[in-house]
Amino acid sequence: MAEGPAEDPNNGRLRSTILVIDDEIGIRKGCQRVLAAEGHDVILAQSAEEGLEILRQGRQVDLALVDLRMEGMGGLDFLVEATKISPELVCVVITAYATLDTAIESTRRGAYDFLAKPFSPEELLRVVNKALDRVSLIRERNRLQAEREQRMLELSTEKSRLRNIINSMADGVLVCNAEQQLVLFNPAALRVLPGIKRGAESYPLAEVLQPPELNDVIEEASRRRVRLSQEIRLTHLPTQAWVLADVSPVCDDTSGLFLGTVTVLRDITELKRVEEVKAQFVNMIAHELRAPLAAVDGFLSVLSEGLVKDPEQEKHMLQRCRERIRALAELVSDLLDMARMEAGRVRREIMPQKLSDIISVVVELMAPVAQQHGVTLTTQVPDDLRSVDADREELIRLFNNLVSNAIKYNRPGGTVTITAAEDGAYVKVAVADTGVGISEEGLKRLFTEFFREKRPETREISGTGLGLSIVKRIVDFYHGRLDVQSKIGEGSTFTVWLPFSTSVPSSVSAATGESREGQ
């Protein structure tokens, strides 16, 4: 019964399909004649069983007129069975035995109206028209209900899509109602604010959000009905973290009624860390440049004015100038190396390299520095070590930084020992010194940019704090490992593992996949 009554194009009246069930042929024919004259389609059945079969065949029937007493199944039983087949079917009982009891029982079983025999055409049409009005109401109700269900489905789909969008956002989202209760948040918000309560309930902000500064900015945006954006430090977390909270009030477009707020939380911890590093960088550069330049300027001023008469003292001053200039050159070199690595512009010619040759070059370069510091430099590197695939200059830079640190942070009369051996699928190289050592706190930050441990023993040692960061980047690029063992006052050992070479030695350069701009 998917369609409702149709309009007859001939006379303009509603045309419906009416099933007449009666064991008296005269009643059936009489009803057919009267109803057909009104433009209705009439289906006749002489028994309740035949009427049920018509319904089972899927014939569209708007109204059924059924006799109460017939051979076989009676009208009351038909009402029950017909409702099972076609729940929307409107039925009118017609009978010559009209009593109050039968009327009540018929209504209880689903009959809409009662028509007593004998009846006139006018009485039949009156009851039929009223019943068809009922059919129209049922159909309209069903249509509205279907539309409502469709709208609810569309609304549910839209809400689901909106929730999926919010849940997939990388930024945290908090939705509060007009009473400043948290009613919705996404998984990203939980990562930023792990203390948020879960569940279907709405919670006051003060009970679910930390730190208080976040509650304050949401409350202010709600009170003033303005959009606010503020950087907030999450002081309630064990590690330092920052968020950028962007709070927007939400108002109804028609009435202007305030509905609540939407807060977007962006994790800016890394940006803050970069800002801190930049600040450290500026401070470090200012200090590292100013101190040696001031010293060189002072020495040269003294020498240019002829105030130094002792040749040995003059030689000492010039040597100090060279040391300061060399330190500045190292600073510039480290900064350039770090900038190239950050920008991905390092050009590497990767081929099998003998570590014994690399370490020999490093020892030759660092021997004068070791002698100047009164440090003994020794090596225990077998000549038959397996090769590693790497860029030669980069390996020299890696071990040069390690040996340079081992010398600078050593004690007069100390030693630096370089050992190498094969270890599983790796070549292991260790640089051990007998220097001042590194604290446990210093070990945690050792490979971060610009970090230098400040202790009385290291105060006079120059450096940029970039050397070990460069070492780690090089080791990571070649899929190696790096380990540090150190004790205060006993020295440190830096150990590097680099994987064996898997290529055949060749004079042809191998691109690393990075930009091939010059170093």
pLDDT digits 0-9 by tens, 416-425: 999 999 998 9
Residue 216 has a pLDDT of 87
Q: What percent of the chain has pLDDT over 70?
A: 83
pTM passes above 0.85: no
- Options 1.10.287.130, 3.10.20.90, 3.90.1490.10, 3.40.50.300; CATH for 273-341 is 1.10.287.130
Provide mean pLDDT across the span 296-325. Answer: 79
pLDDT exceeds 70 at position 141: yes
What was the pLDDT predicted at 11? 42
Mean pLDDT of 394-408: 89
Give the mean pLDDT of the chain.
80
Classify domain 169-267 at the CATH superfamily level: PAS domain (3.30.450.20)
- Chain centroid, CA 457 distance in Å: 47
Residue 496: which pLDDT band, with cuts at 50, 70 and 90? very high
The pLDDT, as a whole number, for residue 360 is 92
Concatenated DSSP letters of 317-385: HHHHHHHHHHHHHHHHHHHHHHHHHHHT-----EEEE-HHHHHHHHHHHHHHHHHHHT-EEEEE--TTP
Residues of the chain with pLDDT > 90, as a percent, come to 14
- Same fold? 273-341, 347-499: no
User: How does pLDDT run across 425-464, given as a tens digit for each residue?
Assistant: 999 999 999 988 888 887 887 777 666 666 666 566 666 6
CA-based end-to-end distance of the chain: 82
Q: What is the mean pLDDT of residues 341-351?
A: 68
pLDDT tens-place string over residues 171-191: 888 888 888 888 888 888 887
Residue 87 has pLDDT above 80, yes or no: yes
Q: Does the pLDDT value for residue 7 go beyond 70?
A: no
Q: Is 425 helix (H, G, I), strand (E, B) or coil?
A: coil
Q: What pLDDT is recorded for position 293?
A: 77
Give the pairing type, strands 258-267 and 350-353. Answer: unpaired
CATH class of 347-499: alpha beta
Tell me which residue of 449, 387, 380 sits closest to 416, measured CA to CA. 380
Dist. CA 464–CA 320, nearest whole Å? 18
Which stretch of 74-88, 143-157, 242-256, 497-511 has the lowest confidence by average pLDDT? 497-511
What are the distances in angstroms from CA 316 to CA 299, 302, 322?
A: 10, 12, 10
Identify the CATH number of the domain defined by range 6-145.
Answer: 3.40.50.2300
**Which secondary structure element, helix H or strand E, spans residue 82, and what is its range?**
helix 75-85
Domain ranges of the chain: 6-145, 169-267, 273-341, 347-499
Q: How far is CA 315 from the centre of its chain?
A: 64
Helix (H, G, I), strand (E, B) or coil at 438: coil
- Tens digit of pLDDT for each residue in 32-50? 999 998 889 999 998 989 9
More confident residue, 407 or 317: 407
pLDDT-derived band at 509 (thresholds 50, 70, 90) equals: very low
User: According to the model, what pLDDT value does residue 403 have?
Assistant: 92
Give the C-alpha separation, 188 to 340, whole Å. 34
Q: Which two tokens stand for residue 112?
A: 């809409």
The lowest-confidence range among 120-129, 256-265, 303-312, 492-501 is 303-312
Print the SS3 string covering 87-122.
CCCEEEEEECCCCHHHHHHHHHCCCCEEEECCCCHH
Confidence at 340, pLDDT banded by 50, 70, 90: low
Residue 507, pLDDT score: 36
- Torsion over CA of 329, 334, 335 and 337, rounded to 10 degrees? 120
Looking at residue 119, what is its pLDDT?
86
pLDDT, tens only, 192-229:
777 676 654 566 777 777 778 888 888 888 888 899 98
Give the Å distances, CA to CA, from 451 to 132, 448, 463, 494.
89, 6, 10, 17
Q: Is the pLDDT of residue 469 over 90?
A: no
Residue 508 confidence (pLDDT): 36
